[in-house]
Amino acid sequence: MNFELKALNTSVLINEKTDALVVFLTSAFKPGKDVLSTLITKVMKAGDLASKAGEALDIYRPAGLTCSRLVLVHVGDGAAKDVRKAVATAVSTAKAAKPRHMTLCFLHNPPPQVMRVAVTSFAEASYVYTTTKTKAEGRSIQSAAFMVPDELSLRSEFERAVATVKGVELAKEWGNRPANHATPTHIAQAARALAKLPHIKCEVLGPKEVAKLGMGAFQAVAQGSEEPLRFIVLHYHGAAKSLAPVVLVGKGITFDSGGISIKPAAEMDEMKFDMCGAASVLGVFRALAELQPDMNVVGLIPACENLLSGRSVKPGDVVTSMSGQTIEILNTDAEGRLVLCDALTYAERFKPRAVVDIATLTGACVVALGGVRSGFFSNDEALSATLLAAGDSSQDLCWQMPLDDDYAEGLKTSFADVANVAGRAGGAITAAKFLQRFVGKSPWAHLDIAGTAWKSGAAKGATGRPVGLLVDCLMQLGQQAKSQ
């Protein structure tokens, strides 16, 4: 989809040739003397549009305007979350008429974050998955123009939003693909395709190289499947090689059956989404290619399937991780932490400024936080503050969870240095405590996106989260590096 940012003035607005013209109204609306203002005043007086965020009124061929239809939508006081709701309503109101082009205008310049949220939520509301359908209709909307009175002051925010959308949509595409269309090999091809973009490089390691590195935990998960594992290394070079990179690590389980500790059949199909952490890393690199910030970023993706066969790892097996620590695999369904721990050890070679891993790691995190906020854990206060702020500015929210050492008690075992599971209590936290053992000296954060990476039920599908959060976080870290 194409996005455009245009300067708003009344005559442009009245003469805008578009399938649907969306006008955002705030409680502070002051009418002018033009036809549109007169119409809005009438609507308000008649009580045809409640002044509540998300309320909309659809008007067909409004007199005096060149648009095919006008959608007036209230945004309350204009807060980011209200604009998000308003955009979703506007798109679903206009959708029935299959618009190809839409124009959305703010009568007053919105705050920068709100501009960004308007663009990202527009993309979200109009997204359609088509890859594995033969008669898919796809997205009717081909282009969207956003109008604001002072477009210059919002241009850079707008560009960040458009770049974020590209990243989010790449993450959704890979998240949504069925596991037989998104094998570790396919994910590696997607990463290689990114390396065609400016300043991006990609290396892919296979079973032999991974064995040589001694990634025994990662190998143990992959060994039950016929699909060969892939360890993907992406580099974005936007600054001098001497500048320490931020390393992103994405869990890339392309299908999680649970292994020998097999999952129940109901909803097992959703475990094709168990590579959404990896997909978010691909998405972030797509956005970096657009934004070209002057920083360095490394993306690591351990990708494999977690299946059952005569070669599968068994409960009670002890494996040696790349760090040298031995792990007793008490539950083969706690596989995410096993692939991540070796990737975290690998991350150390880059002497990173910060390491952030992203994983659909625990059902316990879904119980704790639901689908609104991703859980995050961190050993560093500054990084925590940056993540929390990035969540707010991108409206891709997260919430900090604890890392007290007492939570690690349950991981003790007589048969190895550590077990891969503790009891049921605090499951998201014990998983994070397991990962923390494999983190070097760098500031580290772990994002558990099990509740936020996809939606179940009628609206089943990948959300593209937390690409928005990560893009804002990286841009913030890039800024901080410069001011140091």
Residue 171 contact among Zn ion, Mn ion, ligand BES, none, beta carbon within 5 to 8 Å by kind: none
CA torsion angle for 294, 122, 158, 3 (degrees, to 10)? Answer: 100
Q: Are 90 and 18 in contact (CB under 8 A)?
A: no
Residues β-bridged to residue 205: 231
Closest distance to ligand BES from the beta carbon of 181 (Å): 19
Question: Any idea which residue has 């996005």 for tokens?
Answer: 3
Closest distance to Mn ion from the beta carbon of 365 (Å): 13
Residue 23 contact among Zn ion, ligand BES, Mn ion, none, beta carbon within 5 to 8 Å by kind: none
Contacts of 480 (CB under 8 A, 6+ apart): 382, 386
DSSP string, 238-275: -S-TTSPPEEEEE-EEEEE--TTSPPPSTTGGGGGGGG
Closest distance to ligand BES from the beta carbon of 448 (Å): 9
Which has the closest alpha carbon to 345: 389, 300, 397? 300
Instruction: Give the N- to C-terminal CA distance of the chain in Å, as an integer.
Output: 38
Task: Give whichever of 179 and 473 is closer to Mn ion, judged by the CB atom.
Answer: 179
Closest distance to Zn ion from the beta carbon of 238 (Å): 32
Residue 363 contact among ligand BES, Mn ion, Zn ion, none, beta carbon within 5 to 8 Å by kind: ligand BES
Residue 291 contact among ligand BES, Mn ion, Zn ion, none, beta carbon within 5 to 8 Å by kind: none
Residue 427 contact among Mn ion, Zn ion, ligand BES, none, beta carbon within 5 to 8 Å by kind: ligand BES
Q: What are phi and psi of 262, to 5 degrees?
A: -60, 145
Please give the sequence-ordered ranges of beta strands (E in DSSP) within 63-119, or none if there are none.
Answer: 69-74, 101-106
Task: Give whichever of 5 and 253 is closer to Zn ion, judged by the CB atom.
Answer: 253
Q: Are 332 and 313 in contact (CB under 8 A)?
A: yes
> Quick one: which of 16, 256, 342, 357 contacts Mn ion (CB under 5 A)?
256
Task: Quickly count helices (H) and strands (E) in the chain.
Answer: 14, 20
Closest distance to ligand BES from the beta carbon of 275 (Å): 10
Task: Give whichever of 221 and 445 is closer to ligand BES, judged by the CB atom.
Answer: 221
Task: Give whichever of 220 and 246 is closer to Mn ion, judged by the CB atom.
Answer: 220
State how beta strands 296-306 and 246-250 pair: parallel
Residue 394 contact among ligand BES, Zn ion, Mn ion, none, beta carbon within 5 to 8 Å by kind: none
Task: Give whichever of 262 and 403 is closer to Mn ion, judged by the CB atom.
Answer: 262
Closest distance to Mn ion from the beta carbon of 318 (Å): 19
Task: Give whichever of 256 and 290 is closer to ligand BES, judged by the CB atom.
Answer: 256
CA distance 274 to 182: 11
Residue 450 contact among Zn ion, ligand BES, Mn ion, none, beta carbon within 5 to 8 Å by kind: ligand BES
**Which residues lie near Zn ion (CB under 5 A)?**
253, 256, 274, 336
Task: Give whichever of 38 and 331 is closer to ligand BES, judged by the CB atom.
Answer: 331
Segment (H or E) for 166: helix 155-176
Task: Give whichever of 148 and 421 is closer to ligand BES, judged by the CB atom.
Answer: 421
Crossing angle of helices 112-126 and 155-176, rounded to 10°: 30
Contact pattern for Mn ion over residues 215 through 254, marking x by CB under 5 A: ----------------------------------------
Residue 244, classified by CB atoms within 10 Å of its CB into exposed (0-12), middle (13-18) or buried (19+), is: middle
Closest distance to ligand BES from the beta carbon of 232 (Å): 19
Size of the site for Mn ion (CB under 5 A): 3
Q: Which entry of 85, 116, 272, 337 is annotated as an active-site residue?
A: 337
Residues β-bridged to residue 148: 7
Segment (H or E) for 345: helix 336-347
Q: Which entry of 95, 263, 437, 460 is annotated as an active-site residue?
A: 263
Closest distance to ligand BES from the beta carbon of 264 (Å): 11
**Which residues lie near ligand BES (CB under 6 A)?**
256, 274, 331, 333-336, 360-364, 366, 421, 427, 450
The pair of three-digit structure tokens given for residue 161, joined into one six-digit string: 């939003």
Alpha-carbon distances of 262 from 143, 222, 268, rounded to whole Å: 45, 15, 10
Considering only residues 300 to 339 of the shown chain, the ones binding Mn ion according to CB under 5 A are 333, 335
Specify whether 212 is catalytic: no
Task: Give whichever of 258 and 426 is closer to Zn ion, judged by the CB atom.
Answer: 258
Contacts of 216 (CB under 8 A, 6+ apart): 319, 320, 321, 322, 342
Using CB positions, name the residue nearest to ligand BES.
Answer: 363
Which has the closest alpha carbon to 342: 246, 215, 203? 215
Closest distance to ligand BES from the beta carbon of 366 (Å): 5
CA distance 165 to 83: 17
Specify whether 135 is catalytic: no
Q: Which residues are catalytic?
A: 263, 337
Residue ranges binding Mn ion (CB under 5 A): 256, 333, 335
